[in-house]
Amino acid sequence: MTKIPNVKLNNGVLMPQEGFGVFQIPDFDQCKQAVKDALSAGYRAIDTAQAYHNEEAVGDAIQESNVDRKDIFLTTKVWVSNFGDHKTAKSVEASMKKLKVDYLDLVILHQPFSDYYGAYRDLEKLYHDGKIRAIGISNFDAGRYVDFVNNVKVTPAINQVETHVFNQQTEDRKWMNKYGTQIESWGPFAEGKNGLFTNPVLKVIGEKHDKSAAQIALKFLAQSGVVIIPKSTHIERMKQNLAIWDFKLNDDEMNAIRGLDLNKSLFLDHHAPETANQLNHLH
C-alpha cells in the first residue's frame, strides 16, 4: 500500500500530505461507500464540511471501516451561518455528533466572511480544551490572512485555498510561510477547467514518467509542499490519485508547470461584493 508522507503543522501535529475530499458527494450511500473505498485504498485523511451535508455518511464510513479512528486525520469546516461566539462551538459539537467522534483532528473556518473572529475564538477554546488537535481557515487571501494572524492567539495551522497548476498561490504562500501556516489545496484538478486533464505540458511530462496529466498535476502540488485532497467516487481513480509518491519531477519539469500559472481564481472571486453577499446567505 502507498506510504503517504506527513507534513508537520505549526503545533507539531502530523497530517498526511494527501487526503480524500468529499465535496459534492451529498448522497448518503454514495458518500459512505466512497469514504470506505478511500480508506481501503490507503487514504488516512478525510476532509468534509458542514456545508457538504455529508458528515453523517463520513461518520458511518469511519465506524464501519477496519481502520482505527486514531489512524485517521479527520477534518471538518464550519459554515458562515454558524460563525460567532458560542454559536461556533455548538456547531462543532453537532458536527462531532454527526461524525460519531469525540475529537477532531482539524477544524477550519470555511469562508472569510461574517464574524470569523468570534468563530475563531470558539475554535481556540476547543483547541485548548483538547477537542480539536489543530485549527485553521480557508479562502483567506494574503491581506486578510496577515491581518488575521496579527489579531488571533493561535496562528492557523492550515489555510485551505484554491490551488492548482493554473492558480499556484505563489505570492500568498510567501506570507503563509512567513507566519508558519501550511497551505492546503482545494480543487487540485481545477475541476477539469482549462482542459487540465489533456493539458499538453502535463501530458508530455506524464508520458516520461508513465503517469496521467492528472497525476502530474497532483505531483506538482505535492512536490511544491502543498497538502492535497483530491476527490473521486471511483476506487480505481482514487488509487491513481495515490500513485504519485513513487517518482519525482525534475527542475525543468517543475519550471515548465510553473509556467502554466495564470495567478487568478477559476471559480470564485473572494474580493467581490457579490461573493460576500452570496456566501453570507447560503446555509
Encode pLDDT of 156-215 as tens digits.
Answer: 999 999 999 999 999 999 999 999 999 999 999 999 999 999 999 999 999 999 999 999
Annotation-wise, does 86 bind a ligand?
A: no
Residue 279 has pLDDT above 90, yes or no: no
Total residue count of the chain as it appears in this document:
283
Residues whose CB is less than 8 angstroms from the CB of residue 4 and which lie 6 or more positions away in sequence, other chains included: 16, 17, 18, 42, 43, 44, 242, 245
Catalytic residues: 52
Record the pTM. 0.96
Q: What is the mean pLDDT of the chain?
A: 96
- The cell numbers describing 141, all together, are 487571501
Contact 146, 140 (CB under 8 A): no
- The cell numbers describing 106, all together, are 482539524
* Element holding 182 (H helix, E strand): strand 182-186
Which of 138, 129, 124, 128 is closest to 88 using CA atoms? 124
Helices (H), 42-140: 55-64, 87-99, 116-128
- The Cα–Cα gap between 228 and 266 comes to 18
Residue 54 has pLDDT above 90, yes or no: yes
- Superfamily per CATH, domain 12-280: NADP-dependent oxidoreductase domain (3.20.20.100)
Residues whose CB is less than 8 angstroms from the CB of residue 152 and which lie 6 or more positions away in sequence, other chains included: 117, 120, 124
Encode pLDDT of 228-263 as tens digits.
Answer: 999 999 999 999 999 999 999 999 999 999 999 999
Confidence at residue 270, expressed as pLDDT on a 0 to 100 scale: 81
Confidence at residue 3, expressed as pLDDT on a 0 to 100 scale: 87
- pLDDT band of residue 271 (cuts 50, 70, 90) is confident
Lowest mean pLDDT: which of 110-114, 140-144, 198-202, 279-283?
A: 279-283
Torsions phi, psi for 97 (to 5 deg):
-65, -45
Q: Enumerate long-range contacts of 66-74, CB under 8 Å, 24 or more apart.
A: 67/39, 69/101, 71/44, 72/39, 72/44, 72/45, 72/46, 72/105, 73/15, 73/16, 73/19, 73/44, 73/45, 73/46, 73/105, 73/106, 74/45, 74/46, 74/48, 74/99, 74/101, 74/104, 74/105, 74/106
